Amino acid sequence: MQQREEKQLEFALENIVQRVNDLKASIASMIMKIETEYETLNWPNFLDNYALISGQLTALTKVLSHDKCPLLRNLTLLPLLLSPERDEQLVQLTEGRVTTFAHDLVPDYLRTKLEPMAESKMLQVEHKAANLTYENAQKQIAAYQKVVLHVWDIVNKAREEWEVESSSRGNTQQNSSVTDTHLLVAAVGMGKGLKMGPNPNGGNPTSGGMMVSSQGRSNVSGSIPIPPNTQSMPMNKAPSTIKTNIKSAAQIHPYGR
């Protein structure tokens, strides 16, 4: 009888450890995707990972509630050896999270109840829930449902506005030409497409203006007149009207020698 119970316990523990390892791997994979693939991760993939974790939790619950699984709450776990030195086998089993199985770590790792602070808070919540009347509970539920429905309406309205905006954006008519814009920028910045315009006063055509034209949808033309008194000036010299007064440094030095 005792040997059969030990075999059932060993078989149940193996199944539980396997289910827990699968669950741990799924949670680690999901966390890695959130941290590394947050730019490309979409909502359907996130829901698929969440559904996988939910299914694994359901499978673990079925294993624990199975008839052949012994009641683990009736069993007691006792440490066989406590040592402050590093245990390589323990490091390998815990994947490097626990290095020593010392006296200060045993109460935390072998705890079967909540921590005292968490347990006191849980008792306060349970006491408050037990003293809550049915009418107050229904009022709180109705208030929560009202808030949730209000948020749902806001989200639906924002989605409808976004869909209308995206659909209207695709049907907008083009009122500008990229080719004409490039031609105008090239004409103004680099002088492409410039032609010499006729002089209305006769004589040398260089004394007239320059006409800017672009071969596109829109034609832009204009003249830039050159004053007659500046035509005979040499282009490499400019008249200077600035007078300078340079004094010796010894005269303006505040400290004499």
Query: pLDDT value at position 232?
Result: 45
Note down pLDDT in tens along the chain; length 257 residues. 677 888 888 888 899 999 999 999 999 999 998 899 888 888 888 889 999 999 999 999 988 888 888 888 788 888 888 888 898 988 988 888 888 888 888 888 888 777 888 889 999 999 988 888 889 889 999 999 999 999 999 999 999 988 888 777 666 556 778 888 888 888 888 878 777 666 555 555 444 444 444 444 444 444 444 444 444 444 444 444 545 554 544 455 555 54
Task: Looking at the structure, tell me whether residues 32 and 81 fall in a common domain.
Answer: no
Distance CA 218, CA 235 (A): 34
Domain boundary among 75, 102, 132: 75
165 assigned to some structural domain: no
Short-list 224, 136, 228, CA closest to 188:
224
38 assigned to some structural domain: yes
Task: Looking at the structure, tell me whether residues 121 and 108 fall in a common domain.
Answer: no
In angstroms, what CA-CA distances link 219 with 60, 213, 222?
77, 6, 10
Task: Looking at the structure, tell me whether residues 86 and 148 fall in a common domain.
Answer: no
Count of CB atoms situated within 10 Å of the CB of 146? 10
88 is in which domain, residue-wise? 76-112
Task: Looking at the structure, tell me whether residues 16 and 33 fall in a common domain.
Answer: yes
Task: Looking at the structure, tell me whether residues 130 and 144 fall in a common domain.
Answer: yes
CATH number of the structural domain spanning residue 62:
1.20.58
191 assigned to some structural domain: no
What is the number of helices (H) and of strands (E) in the chain? Answer: 8, 2
Task: Looking at the structure, tell me whether residues 63 and 124 fall in a common domain.
Answer: no
- Please report where in the chains the tokens 């323990």 appear, as a residue: 90
The whole-model pTM stands at: 0.43
Tally of domains within the chain: 3
Query: pLDDT value at position 51?
Result: 93
247 assigned to some structural domain: no
9 assigned to some structural domain: yes
37 assigned to some structural domain: yes
254 assigned to some structural domain: no
Distance CA 224, CA 208 (A): 8
Task: Looking at the structure, tell me whether residues 96 and 122 fall in a common domain.
Answer: no
DSSP 14-42: HHHHHHHHHHHHHHHHHHHHHHHSTTT--
Task: Looking at the structure, tell me whether residues 34 and 87 fall in a common domain.
Answer: no
Task: Looking at the structure, tell me whether residues 100 and 49 fall in a common domain.
Answer: no
